[in-house]
Each structure stands twice: as structure tokens, then as C-alpha cells.
With several copies, the nearest count.
Chain A
Amino acid sequence: MIKMTSRRVDGVTILDIGGRITLGEGSTQLRDSIRQLLAAGEKRILVNLGEVSYIDSSGLGELVSAFTAVRAEGGELKLLNLTRKVHDLLQITKLYTVFDVHDDETSAIASFAAA
């Protein structure tokens, strides 16, 4: 019940996620995807959560780990298109203050530092 595909636009890798990012479902896939991207040298990652219906605390933890993993490699991980549920979750957990969150793909891409 999770879909994850990545595409590249103007030097930024966009990871489009759909479905649930929860323990045992999406969390592991998210971790693997981020690992693969970092291994391939992709360090500007925009995670599109527009089609994510549900994140639990495990999924939130995985997003935070993705964020710190990318930062540790000198890269940037940003979020795109939060649904109301996901937005509320980031607000309650104060993670909204951690992530750079965007609503528009073009301006999100432009916000990444040039290579």
C-alpha cells in the first residue's frame, strides 16, 4: 500500500510517495529509497508527500532520519505538498520547524542551493 518513485528535475531528485508511511509498511521502503539516493550521490532531495494518506510515529521517525542522513552527507532534504493530516502531525510534533516545507514544486526546486 505504499508507492515510491523518483524523478529528477533541474538537479533535484523528487521522491513521490503515495500511501501509508507506517511501521512495517512504508517506513522501511522510505529508508531504503533514501539510502539508494545517497549511495547514487543524490543529495538534493524533495520528498513529495501529496499522496500520503497516513504517517504514524514510525514514519515520522523515518522522515527525521532521512533528513539527518541527507544533511550528514552535506545535502538537503525538503518536503512538498503536505496533506492536512500530515501537516497537523508535523505541527503537533514541532517537526514543522525542522523541515523546509513547500507547496509548489517549481519554487521548491528553485529553493535548493545550486550544485
Chain B
Amino acid sequence: MLESRIENVDRAEAAAEEVARAAGFDVDEQHHIAMAVREITVNAITHGNQLDAAKKVHLDFSISPAGLIIEVRDEGRGFDASKLPDPLAPDNLLRQSGRGIFLARAFMDELDLKNLRHGLEVRMAKRKRR
């Protein structure tokens, strides 16, 4: 259970790092995977559940021969991902926020956002290099 508290971000991140290690990713990849999970969990807790401790975050790690699949699901209202501003656009470069999903996407091989009836589901995948 992840209550919507910021401390739980560190826990989710540490769990992701350890799972990535178990899945056989190297230390750089472990760091990138952990960071992606951090960013997406922060979003789930702040934007999704809006720090409402009654709302939870659901976290799923799946280690398979192909790599690692991670799903983070919150109980918020979701959002329209097609409206995500590009943090690299010159007008956005000096904005304080708006780099979380961008970074998570950069560090994973796949990142899909899906609005569920109650909440946002983010599904990320990282494939093993051979």
C-alpha cells in the first residue's frame, strides 16, 4: 500500500532500483528505472491523488525474460496527455516544472498513459540489451 505521502516516493524508488537489479539491469539502467518510477510516483501522489492520504497508489513490477514492466496507478482524475507541453520548446525551457513524464520516457523504452475510470495508469517498459 502506498499512501499518498511524499516519503513513499523514496520507498517506491528504492523498490524499483532493487527490482531492476534483480532483473539484471546494470547500475546505470537501475538508476534510470528508479528515477522514472520516482517521477511517475510523484505525479501519482501529487497530481493524481493530490496528497489525499485516503487515495492510494498501486505499483506493479513484472520481471520477465524480456525485461521489466512497471505500472503505476493512482486514484485521481487522470488528464489529457495530448496536451502535455514539450519541455524542450524554447518557451518552456525555463519553466520550473513539466519535465517529469519527459524524463521518465527518456529513461524507459516505453511509457504509455491510460485514463481509467478512476485514475491514471502509467505503464513503463525497459527491455534487456543483449
Contact = CB atoms under 8 A, between A and B. Distances in A.
A23 B6 contact: yes
A25 B5 CA distance: 14
Contacts, number: 49
Q: Is the interface of B mostly helix, strand, loop or mixed?
A: helix
B109 to A, nearest CB: 15
Interface in B85-130: 87-88, 93-97, 99-100, 102-103, 106
B84 to A, nearest CB: 13
Nearest to B39: A57
Interface in A55-105: 56-58, 60-62, 64-65, 67-68, 85, 89, 92-95, 97-98
A67 B95 CA distance: 11
Contacts of A97: 93
Contacts of A24: 6-7, 9
Nearest to B42: A23
B73 interface: no
Nearest to A68: B94
Contact of B93 (A85, A89, A98): A98
B96 A93 contact: no
A85 B88 CA distance: 19
Interface in A7-27: 22-24
Q: Is the interface of A mostly helix, strand, loop or mixed?
A: helix
Contacts of B100: 57
B4 to A, nearest CB: 13
Contacts of B97: 57-58, 61
A95 B35 CA distance: 18
Contacts of B94: 64, 67-68, 98
B96 A64 contact: yes
B93 A56 contact: no
Given A56-B39, A95-B93, 13 more contacts: A24-B6, A56-B103, A57-B39, A57-B102, A60-B99, A61-B95, A61-B97, A61-B99, A67-B94, A85-B31, A93-B87, A93-B102, A98-B94
Interface of A: 22-24, 54, 56-58, 60-62, 64-65, 67-68, 85, 89, 92-95, 97-98
